[in-house]
Amino acid sequence: MTSPPTIDAARFLDRLRALAGVGRDAQGRLTRLAASDADRAGRDAVAGWMREAGLEVRVDRIGNLLGLWRPEGAQGDPVMIGSHIDTVVDAGTYDGCVGVLAGLAVVEALREAGGRPAHPLAVAAFTNEEGVRYAPDMLGSLVYAGGLAAEAALATVGVDGTVLGEELSRIGYAGPHAPGFLRPRAYVELHVEQGPVLEREGTAIGAVAAVQGISWQEVTIEGAANHAGTTPMALRRDAGVAAARVVTWLRARARAGNGRSVATVGRLRLEPEAINVIPARAVFTVDLRDPDAGRLAALEADLAERLDQVARAEDVAVTVRRLARFDPVAFDPGLVRAIEAAATRRGLSVRRMISGAGHDAQMMARLCPAAMIFVPSAGGISHSPHEHTSEAELVAGATVLLDVVRRLSGPPEEPAE
Ligand code: HGY
Ligand code: MN
Ligand code: MN
């Protein structure tokens, strides 16, 4: 190796800024939903940067985009670095994109320093991590890890009535490769924390030891439309009131836990949505999470009981559709220690933590040793245009990622210094 590899910060940050500009609407809001035209433009940009970096670009059947570097002499399965570039609605700049672009920066740093990793390296941008358009979230990595058949995933109908497989074909990212065609020997993901802990503690790096469990459901409440002026209160079957009784109960129930449970109703629609019509139907989503599998199951059971109570009390019919369900996932302890050691060697403060957000790494942990590196989120904010992480924090995270990847892929005689 000619000189120790370093992250080209300017190129990394320039690409992050460029990608942040892909998918903005007339009001400047960033929305790059999975398999949308904006996602295509984002994918095209990332695939172009992968090619510029000399990587072989591969797309699998569920649209996962992978860049592969097979240096001379490299043997066996690749070390994989990944995340996602799809976003939520009116999103921030950093969620997912940091991990994909830092992964690319790591591979370029090694290549440009004349590195000779003992194993190939792969950079992955997984399809539909956010799950906003198609449920469940982390769909591309779930399929890649064998947790869902590609056929079933491709048939998924989105909130907009589109079919994922058709949309991937339309944007030109229904690839030929079988998901999982490259079996990683290890997987590492850099991500913004999306929570307040690192910033509050003044800690530079999070060594993520686990991801909490997640449960997504869609609840439909059927009441009866009627006249807002002529229908006595005692004779109403008001789906809107029934939904409201569930939503306010959910917050109290989550708060009654040990402070780790969270519950969110992110989407709620009333029909026919007219000022003078008692709502006949309410359709809303429930996102429940807890680091403990038992407590998450108890949350779900209590919600089911509450729905029964409200159905009887309000004389409405309730149906539930499951959208996602993933138990908590523990990451590889050795990899977590390697992240802590790499941060410490760089003089960066580091602490172990559990991720409140779901990530592709939790799916890749089904295939190989996996772990994550967090960098601080200003104000703990994410899934918001106010998401922010400083350039210095981003480069520090990418540098720790570089050191960890060198350890995982470096020839035995060249351990990272
Ligand atoms: O919902 C999540 O935690 C992730 O952002 N998909
Ligand atoms: Mn993410
Ligand atoms: Mn997200």
pLDDT given for residue 2 in this prediction: 66
Cα angle 289, 295, 301; round to 5: 90
- The reply to whether 213-326 shares the fold of 9-211+329-408 is no
Say if ligand 1 is within 6 A of residue 357 CB. yes
Q: Does the pLDDT at position 47 exceed 50?
A: yes
Ligand 1 proximity of 358 Cβ (cutoff 6 Å): yes
Residue 112, pLDDT > 80, answer yes
Structure confidence at residue 294 as a pLDDT band (50, 70, 90): very high
pTM above 0.85? yes
Q: Ligand 1 pocket, 213 CB below 6 A? A: no
Indicate which atom in ligand 1 lies nearest the CA of residue 357.
3
Does 33 sit in the ligand 1 pocket, CB within 6 Å? no
Q: Which ligand is nearest to the CA of 383?
A: 3
Q: Is the CB of 129 under 6 A from ligand 1?
A: yes
Mean pLDDT to the nearest integer, 403-417: 73
| Three-state SS annotation for 74-126 | CCCCCEEEEEECCCCCCECCCCCHHHHHHHHHHHHHHHHCCCCCCCCEEEEEE
Of 77, 139, 171, 174, the residue nearest 368 (C-alpha): 77
Whether the CB of 130 sits within 6 Å of ligand 1: yes
Which residues partner with 192 through β-bridges?
Answer: 375
State the ligand closest to the CA atom of 84: 2
Ligand 3 centre and the CA of 85: distance in Å? 10
pLDDT tens per residue, range 6-35: 999 999 999 999 999 999 999 999 999 999
Pick the closest to residue 253 from 282, 288, 278, 225 (CA basis): 288
What residue's CA is closest to ligand 1, atom 4? 358
Q: What is the mean pLDDT of residues 182-202?
A: 98
Q: Answer yes or no: is the C-beta of 131 below 6 A from any ligand 1 atom.
A: yes
Ligand nearest to the CA of 129: 1
Residue 244 Rama label (left phi>0; alpha psi -120 to 50; beta):
alpha
Question: Of ligand 1's atoms, which has the minimum distance to the CA of residue 194?
Answer: 5
Q: How far is the CA of 86 from the centre of ligand 2 (A)?
A: 8
Cα–Cα distances (Å) from 46 to 231, 261, 270, in that order, read: 57, 36, 39
Q: Give the pLDDT band (50/70/90) at residue 115.
A: confident
* Ligand 1 site, residue 356, Cβ cutoff 6 A: no
Most ligand 1 atoms within 8 A of CB, residue of 94, 383, 387 to mutate: 383
State the Cα–Cα distance between residues 144 and 171, nearest whole angstrom.
Answer: 20
Contacts of 138 (CB under 8 A, 6+ apart): 126, 128, 129, 131, 326, 358, 359, 360, 362, 363
CATH classification code of 9-211+329-408: 3.40.630.10
The answer to whether the bond into 272 is cis (omega within 30° of 0) is yes
Q: What is the pLDDT of residue 196?
A: 98
CATH-assigned architecture of domain 213-326: 2-Layer Sandwich (3.30)
Boundaries of every domain in the chain? 9-211+329-408, 213-326
Q: Is the pLDDT of residue 417 over 50?
A: no
C-beta separation of 164 from 154 below 8 A: yes
For residues 268-274, give the mean pLDDT: 98
Give the model's pLDDT for residue 1. 64
Residue 414's pLDDT band (cuts 50, 70, 90): very low
> What's the CA-to-centroid distance between 10 and ligand 3, angstroms?
25
**Ligand 1 atom at minimum distance from 138 CA:** 6
Ligand 1 in reach of 96 Cβ (< 6 A): no
How much is the pLDDT for 410? 77
The CA-to-CA distance between both ends of the chain, in Å, stands at 13
Q: What percentage of the chain exceeds 70 in pLDDT?
A: 98
Closest-CA residue, ligand 1 atom 5, reads 130
Q: How confident is the model at residue 217 (pLDDT cuts 50, 70, 90)?
A: very high
**All residues with CB under 5 Å from ion ligand 3:** 95
- Could you tell me if residue 45 is left (phi over 0), alpha (psi between -120 and 50 degrees) or otherwise beta? alpha
Considering the chain, what is the average pLDDT of its residues?
A: 96
Taking the CA of residue 382 as reference, the ligand 1 atom at the shortest distance is 5
C-alpha 311 – ligand 2 centre gap (Å):
36
411 confidence band (pLDDT: 50, 70, 90): low
- Closest ligand to 384 CA? 3
| Atom in ligand 1 nearest the alpha carbon of residue 129 | 6
144 C-alpha to ligand 2 centroid (Å): 17
Residue pLDDT, tens place only, 229-255: 999 999 999 999 999 999 999 999 999
How many residues can be counted in the chain?
Answer: 417
Task: Report the pLDDT averaged over residues 212-217.
Answer: 98
Confidence of residue 134 (pLDDT cuts 50, 70, 90): very high
Mean pLDDT, residues 76-103 taken together: 98
Mean pLDDT for 103-113 is 97
Tens digits of per-residue pLDDT, 145-183? 999 999 999 999 999 999 999 999 999 999 999 999 999
